[in-house]
Structure 1
């Protein structure tokens, strides 16, 4: 494969990653990081250096931590059970396969179902689901800012 095709692939990964930062169905941060690492590798880190790769890697890790910490803080703020947090995680993974609406709302449903299974209280389950969802939204906004 010649260098031009590698550069096109690198640019495509970065563009898809930028779209994925706002479209939750795409793993945006991973795609951007992959595109940057590929760009650095193509010419032995001459145009894209080790420092740039290190900075992008740190920002990617911060982005992941921020997104998940915000969701956990939202859930814990209202006293979510472990089942609610597991439900939100399952909802997030299931949502990836169901498009934008699934990624947007299945974490809420998963957290609510998990909380209901733990405590059998519908109002509390809805409150935990909404708080977890709001935490996820704050995390997504933080990811866009980073």
Structure 2
């Protein structure tokens, strides 16, 4: 194994780790980091194992991940009676929360954002808090979906290398 191969594998593994961390921490480019790892492998080691079926499967999974991420989070808010304002608030909270409250902001941010959004939409405090909890359920469900699909992406990559 050459130094280029070793460097390629190190970068691939780092991108996989960043990708999996991105499933939980939304600022990191989760699925895109994993997708980029395939290109790093191809450029530094070989594109030979990957044909159109591999790229089609991986691209479809990335597309599903992007759609599911938003849809599942919005579902949690909507399921608990939230408005568009609470969906926006939850989305802003998930982005800003980790910076305002390091460590806990990932959970507190979407909750507070959804509550504020719902209060701005003239909802009662009780309903706003219920919608805030819905945003957390959506967030946790979204994280589970992302982790599973990103692990599937990595598994397909490994299987393709073993059979290719």
On whether the aligned pair clears a TM of 0.5, the verdict is yes
Contact 2:20 / 2:147 at 8 angstroms: preserved in 1? Answer: no
Q: TM-score, normalised by structure 1?
A: 0.82
Counterpart position of 1:34: 36
> How far apart, CA to CA, are the structure 2 residues paired with 1:67 and 1:54?
20
What RMSD in Å do the two structures reach over aligned CA positions?
2.5
Worse-matched range after superposition: 5-14 or 104-113: 5-14
Alignment of 1:14 with 2:21, yes or no, is no
The Cα of 1:23 is off from its aligned counterpart by: 5.2
Counterpart position of 1:125: 128
Change in Cα spacing, 1:125 to 1:93, as seen in structure 2 (3 Å) is same
From 55, 61, 84, the equivalent of 1:82 is 84
> How far apart, CA to CA, are the structure 2 residues paired with 1:74 and 1:18?
22
Counterpart position of 2:59: 57
> How far apart, CA to CA, are the structure 1 residues paired with 2:31 and 2:122?
36
Which stretches of structure 1, 4 residues or longer, exceed 6 Å deviation after superposition? none
Q: TM-score, normalised by structure 2?
A: 0.74
The Cα of 1:50 is off from its aligned counterpart by: 4.1
* Residue-pair matches, total: 146
Q: What whole-Å deviation, never above 9, does each CA across 1:54-97 have from its counterpart, x for those lacking one? A: 32222122122222211111211233122111111110111343
Worse-matched range after superposition: 29-38 or 93-102: 93-102
Q: Residue 81 of structure 2 aligns to a residue in which SS?
A: coil
Alignment of 1:68 with 2:76, yes or no, is no
Q: Residue 74 of structure 1 aligns to a residue in which SS?
A: helix
Q: Residue 48 of structure 2 aligns to a residue in which SS?
A: coil
**Which sections of structure 1, spanning at least 5 residues, go unmatched?**
none
**Which sections of structure 2, spanning at least 5 residues, go unmatched?**
150-164
